Amino acid sequence: MTGAYVLLEDGVRFDGEACGAPGPAIGEVVFTTGMSGYQESVTDPSFHAQLLTFTAPMVGNYGASDAAMESAWAHARGAIMREAVNAADAPSAELGWLDWLRERGVPGITGVDTRALVRHIRDAGSMLGGIFPAAVEEEEARRLIAAEPPMTGRDLAREVTPAAPKVYAGDGSGPRIVALDTGIKASIIRNFTGRGATLELLPCTTSAEEVLARGADGIFLVPGPGDPAAMGYLVDTVRALIGRTPVFGICLGHQILSQAVGLETFKLPFGHRGGNHPVKDVRTGRIAITSQNHGFAVRGEAGVPLETDFGEAMLTHVNLYDGTIEGIRLLEVPAGCVQYHPEAGPGPHDSLGLFDEFIEEIEAASPHA
Amino acid sequence: MPRRDDLSKILVLGSGPIVIGQAAEFDYSGAQACKVLLEEGYDVVLQNSNPATIMTDPEFATATYVEPLLPEVVARVIERERPDALLPTLGGQTALNLAKALYEDGTLARFGVELIGATYEAICRAEDREAFDATMRAAGLRTARNTIATDLSQARVALEAFGLPLIVRPAFTLGGRGGGIARTEEEFQQVVARGLAASPIGQVLIDESVLGWGEFELEVMRDGADNVVVVCSIENVDPMGVHTGDSVTVAPQMSLTDRQYQKLRDQAIAVIRAVGVETGGSNVQFAVNPATDEIVVIEMNPRVSRSSALASKATGFPIAKIAARLAVGYRLDEIPNDITKRTPASFEPAIDYVVVKWPRFAFEKFPGVDDRLSTHMKSVGEVMAIGRTFKQAFAKAMRSRELDAPPALGGDLLARLEVPAADRFDVLLEAFRRGASEADVRARTSIDPWFLRELRELAVDPEAAERGVRTYRAVDTCAAEFEAETPYYYSALERPPARHEIVRGDRPSVMILGSGPNRIGQGIEFDYCCVHAAMTVREADRDAVMVNCNPETVSTDYDTSDRLYFEPLTLDDVLAIVEVERPEGVIVQFGGQTPLKLAAGLAQPGVPLLGTSPEAIDLAEDRGRFGALLDGLALKAPPYATAHGAAAALAAAPGVGFPLLVRPSYVLGGRAMELVYSTDALADYLARTGANGGREIFLDRFLENAIEVDVDAICDGEDVWIGGIMQHVEEAGIHSGDSACVLPPHSLGGEMLREIRAATRAIALELGVVGLLNVQYGVLGDDLYVIEANPRASRTVPFVSKATGLPLAKLACRVMLGEKLEAMDLPDDPCGDHVSVKEAVLPFDRFAGTDALLGPEMRSTGEVMGVAPDFPAAFAKAQAAAGARLPQGGTAFLSVTDSDKPAVVGVAVQLHDLGFRIVATRGTAAAISRMGIPAERLNKLGEGSPHVVDEIERGGVELVINTPTGTAARADGYEIRRAAIARGVPCITTIAGGMAAARAIAAARQGTWEVRSLQEIHGTSGTAAVPG
């Protein structure tokens, strides 16, 4: 194996061995504490332009397979691992994990003291960095990192949104849901179509008029990468859609909806990424263990009433780790959203019921034929 | 839902003696629960018959009953204490079964005691196989196709329907006791018969085979608001077919995809909901066929378990502690995560390391037993190792095992792998080293390819796994996402600059070396002492630093010390910790042989050892030097010789005189020790044990019919304090760990006791002991013989502490830290006016094929204690607590060796007077009849049916007194004892034990047992303090 290293924006360096596609790779260095689902994570568009550090000690155990794809592409720009495994002997494996990374053009680094790296990010905050072959001089590496724009203020949805609309039909028993695709995941598509709904994905730059012209029974706001504050056009579109049909948003969709009703978003120090955060539904007291993947959050506090441009809103879900907002419902219009990922993929299935609730809400609003 | 204020007094049941399948993990969980309930302001009533537990320390409960764990005795405690609730989910299967019995007999309803943690219905749904299957089906989950049988003909239906192999498990037993795999029709009949006998309700479950599938366990917790979290996933490296307690296991699971894992998680949650465990932890076991994605629910335990203790240690999530809080009304989100302090317990730990658990076996103790691994648990202990990668953890677990001898790696290795045995992974690695392919091994073991690849890489390039700098990392429940406050560390090998995560203040530290995996001869007693050392060190304003690798124990609870290093107890690993800790001193005296063996290696580079010097330890261990020391003190010792090699031993034997005890040097728990009566027997022993070359062999004259005495004392170098003098019930020659003993001595005169005290003092001072000293004596007539002296914590320290109310280990630790005995104001004779009896608990019922005979080789796994105003009552309690409840009447079978014939008459007279019908073999019957006691003759085995074994098997015998016949012709006795154990008939193998039993039966006749708490006995009742 040839040497490689991770260099962070602040000059801290971690050595390891190169694996996957040849480097370098530059991006925001983040970490996920999820213990399974590495391929799902790397193909999740929300990791677009990020270097993903796995805290899981061994990554690649069961190889790679088409079934684990959350999108058509590898979106993470690089994978930082303590110990990467490249084998295809698991029954579901079609390719070894590192072979897959190579095929998908994703540089990786293994043998890294990921725990030390994570502790550094935890204390200093997420920052830009890169994975570099040992042959690349640190000075050159620093230059490459400096050339990468910061995550704050960055609209990455445009980079992952499809060029043309795409329809995923259910069995016809459910409603027609239209989504502005800022980085859809296969798990979300499956959750809608599996419930009979038809999901139409539109480029995220589609105007509100065009969206309405599609005859949507409900509007879904999709997760995705980047800073929601930099997506004013999308916020405007959504603002025009609120109140027309039921709206449900996940992750970036939650942030966009919140902005559209006049709430603010901010960047978390090192984000929430993993599959173990407890989220409480304050209406029922029930706690769900959730899949999380976000670097930004909506400003607000549990117990403080939320006043929005569309009337009163209720904070429905709260993160029990740090008290951040995990879900909001508008009380005067049919719209709600969650910050975490009920679709899982990867992660726990505790919140799959939210898809049922959305479809029920749509059906209550406009009984489907 | 905050704390329940409608409860004020809660009864907690412990799990009793350490047995295979139910070990120290329940002291860990029970102690945590008691601590939490006291902290919450409840009065805690604790009942546990095991004196060697931390939980039975008086400060862990408001009232502590060291009484037999039998329904009627628990009922007495309930009647006396009137608790509002009973928490039965932290004391293993024993506590759960008791709760069930007390519910069914109406005791709980009569006294208005509420079951908390798990309801009666939930217990039944989880434990009754039929109910469990129905519950799973209703929840849409699959269980293995199975049937329930209450007799052999019902069982045959399954055989026809499912085909072989089949898995047979008895209902309501712990660790699958009495179950097994049937691969042939003959095996099927045997296993079914054994299972039916082992099940308290005479029921076995016969399962369709999922042999070779992957085995997974999930630890689930649920609160009263129906919030559920999965604390940990555990994957068995051994596939289905080897009991999980005997399997090498890994956390987190390694081989499942996210989808497969989430499916398991969903099902585990569905199981705990369907069974209806309202609050607390449960363990759900699955078989998974990764090729087809099929999942089968194997079983669930509606309580904390061995696996949950492992999961707690593996993740830092204290399952028992949280379960106790949930049981009194809290919700998961109302309980803080101890480790981060800032986040709640309603989460699932993320871990950034790999944990490997490895079982520890003791087959060498039980010659003749079937040492193949199956669904019937056989291991006696376990180790856990944490590493940053699977290979690091696996290699660390292997060196944590502390095997007495390296496994033999000869023969056709691949053929050996076809039947799983204790050494299977040593064999597997060697096979890889010799070039076997993963496919070769897979074909024979069904081990998942993921593990096989890792193991092959480890075998062929062991250095690769060990590359890097040793750095101490924290176990923090969250993969470093949050700052951790609890200093629980393991060593990781990392690329430089690997920085330690150790957080420490300015206080000096004292390091306590634990005792490693539980094994026969070194069990929970030593962990008890180590925990007391940690408490004392903390009280002395120093940081207590614990080093141990046993996940079952209280010592490896991160709460016990200021810093816990979960590491192997090898010299290299310990020196590395010394390097970073720079302790003021290291304590090697409390963890048994494991740390003691390191003493010289630690002293050599100048590591400061507290207490007795390695030099003094060596003086006590070296037969020649110790003999000279005794000579100098004018103390007698039995004649002995030390020989190098077999020929020398045979030459030396006549000089020592027969009978003699023979053993190799430096042994633990009398390992490989035997009693021989003749030169031929000695030659046979030497040949069998492979005594060769320069290996030292000890020969000791055996004091036949002597009374054995154990003394625990503390010496500060100037003064000696005698903590307790114990008289063994069995004669000398039975290993002290297996012998029942009495405190205070029941038949030694004042003069002899004075002599024993004086001798102990003299030995302690002459050796230069600073700390604990245990001396074993033999009393033959008026003569006192010193058998051996051990300047370290002994197995009896916890028993003496419970019997006297004085914490010997703590006092000794204070002495080691520099205090003087004189300043401690200790009573001269701390016995009080009660009698305490310790009885050993033996695993013969688990090891079909071994002789259930006591001897110089220790074989017990655990102990119980009976306390009463007099010896017979205390003995009766101890017997009952040990599971050998003495009958009140019926038929007693007596068969003794010639030398015991005069004495057996006395026993027969007493039994006759108590109304027993006496049956005996010819010689014994004749001896008894001669004294005018009616004794019916029963055939020996060779004399044709109906013979004694038939009678026992038919249930016609309630009590067996059978002493071994010395040398040969052991076959009869062996069959008798085997049959008795299989039927659960008390089987006494010494005449002294028989006497004690007769007196105990008489005592028990006088009415129901009085129960008293330790706090009352020692006059310390009042409110318990929350232990530190």
- Say what the ipTM of the complex is: 0.97
Chain A contact for B227, CB < 8 A?
yes
Spell out the alpha helix ranges (H) of B740-899.
750-767, 797-804, 808-816, 871-881
Nearest CB to B453; choose among A83, A89, A111 = A89
Cα separation, A354 vs A337, in Å, equals 10
Q: Would the pLDDT of B1023 be above 50?
A: no
B690 CB contacts (<8 Å, ≥6 apart)? none
B817 CB contacts (<8 Å, ≥6 apart)? B510, B536, B537, B540, B542, B585, B610
Strand-pair category, B563-566 with B660-664: unpaired
Residues 479-498 of B with CB under 8 A from A: 479-483, 492, 494-495, 498
pLDDT in tens, B293-326: 899 999 999 999 999 999 999 999 999 999 999 9
Q: Would the pLDDT of B691 be above 70?
A: no
Nearest CB to A61; choose among B254, B346, B347 = B254
Cα separation, A85 vs A71, in Å, equals 22
Nearest CB to B257; choose among A56, A68, A111 = A68
> Which band of pLDDT confidence, cut at 50, 70 and 90, is reported for residue B671?
low
- Cβ contact B450–A122 (<8 Å): no
Please name the residue of chain B whose CA is at the shortest distance from the CA of residue A31. B481
Tokens 């190799």 belong to B664
Helix, strand, coil percentages (3-state) for chain B, rounded to 5, are: 35, 20, 40
Among the listed residues B549, B512, B551, the one whose alpha carbon sits nearest the alpha carbon of residue B398: B549
Between A85 and B962, where is the model more confident? A85
Cα separation, B255 vs A97, in Å, equals 13
Between B902 and A263, where is the model more confident? A263
Structure tokens at B46: 């604790």
Residue A192 Cα, gap to closest chain B Cα (Å): 18
B687-693: long-range contacts, CB 8 A cutoff, minimum separation 24: B687/B646, B689/B664, B691/B645, B691/B646, B691/B649, B691/B664, B692/B645, B692/B646, B693/B644, B693/B645
Q: Would the pLDDT of B1026 be above 50?
A: no
Q: Would the pLDDT of B476 be above 50?
A: yes
Single-letter amino acid, residue B888:
Q
What crossing angle do the helices spanning B797-804 and B808-816 adopt, rounded to 10°?
Answer: 110
Cα separation, B439 vs B453, in Å, equals 10
Q: Would the pLDDT of B178 be above 80?
A: no
Q: Say whether B40 sits in a helix, a strand or coil.
A: coil
Q: What is the pLDDT of residue B1027?
A: 47
Chain B contact for A305, CB < 8 A?
no
Residue A19 is among the residues annotated as catalytic for this protein? no
Average pLDDT, chain B: 90
Nearest CB to B291; choose among A34, A57, A91 = A91
Cis before B639 (ω within 30): no
Secondary structure letter of residue A264 according to DSSP:
-
Range B704-714 average pLDDT: 90
Chain A contact for B351, CB < 8 A?
yes
Chain A residues with CB under 8 Å of B251 CB are: none
Secondary structure letter of residue B998 according to DSSP:
H
B100-109: long-range contacts, CB 8 A cutoff, minimum separation 24: B100/B124, B100/B127, B101/B71, B102/B71, B102/B74, B102/B75, B102/B78, B105/B71, B105/B75, B107/B71, B107/B74, B107/B75, B107/B78, B108/B78
pLDDT in tens, B675-690: 788 899 888 888 877 6
Secondary structure letter of residue B365 according to DSSP:
G
Cα separation, A190 vs B813, in Å, equals 64
Phi/psi at B413 (5° precision): -60, -45
Residue A254 is among the residues annotated as catalytic for this protein? no
Task: Supply the DSSP string of A300-359, one letter for each residue.
Answer: --TTSPEEETTEEEEEEEEETTT--EEEEEETTTTEEEESSBTT-SSS--TTTHHHHHHH
All residue ranges of chain A with pLDDT < 50 are: 368-369
B181-189: long-range contacts, CB 8 A cutoff, minimum separation 24: B181/B209, B181/B211, B181/B241, B181/B374, B181/B375, B185/B159, B188/B155, B188/B159, B188/B164, B189/B152
> Which band of pLDDT confidence, cut at 50, 70 and 90, is reported for residue B834?
very high
Residue A343 is among the residues annotated as catalytic for this protein? yes
Residue A21 Cα, gap to closest chain B Cα (Å): 22
Rounded to whole angstroms, what are the CA distances from B928 to B933, B973, B977? 6, 19, 21
Q: What is the pLDDT of residue A305?
A: 81
Structure tokens at B690: 């492979």
Cα separation, A206 vs A201, in Å, equals 10
Q: What is the pLDDT of residue B730?
A: 75
Range B250-275 average pLDDT: 97
Cα separation, B757 vs B737, in Å, equals 22
Structure tokens at A96: 């070894």
pLDDT in tens, B364-412: 888 778 889 988 899 999 999 999 999 999 999 999 999 888 888 999 9
Q: Which helix (H) or strand (E) holds B259?
A: helix B258-275
Chain B contact for A193, CB < 8 A?
no
Helix, strand, coil percentages (3-state) for chain A, rounded to 5, are: 25, 35, 40
Chain A residues with CB under 8 Å of B317 CB are: none
Across A307-321, b (16+ Cβ under 10 Å) vs e yields ebebeebebbbbbbb
Residue A190 Cα, gap to closest chain B Cα (Å): 14
Among the listed residues B741, B784, B778, the one whose alpha carbon sits nearest the alpha carbon of residue B759: B784
Radius of gyration of chain A (CA): 20
Among the listed residues B945, B957, B871, the one whose alpha carbon sits nearest the alpha carbon of residue B917: B957
Between B318 and B173, where is the model more confident? B318
Cα separation, B470 vs B386, in Å, equals 13
- Cβ contact B254–A274 (<8 Å): no
Q: What is the pLDDT of residue B976?
A: 80
Structure tokens at B402: 């502390």
Among the listed residues B696, B776, B689, the one whose alpha carbon sits nearest the alpha carbon of residue B732: B776
Catalytic site residue from A75, A272, A341, A361: A341
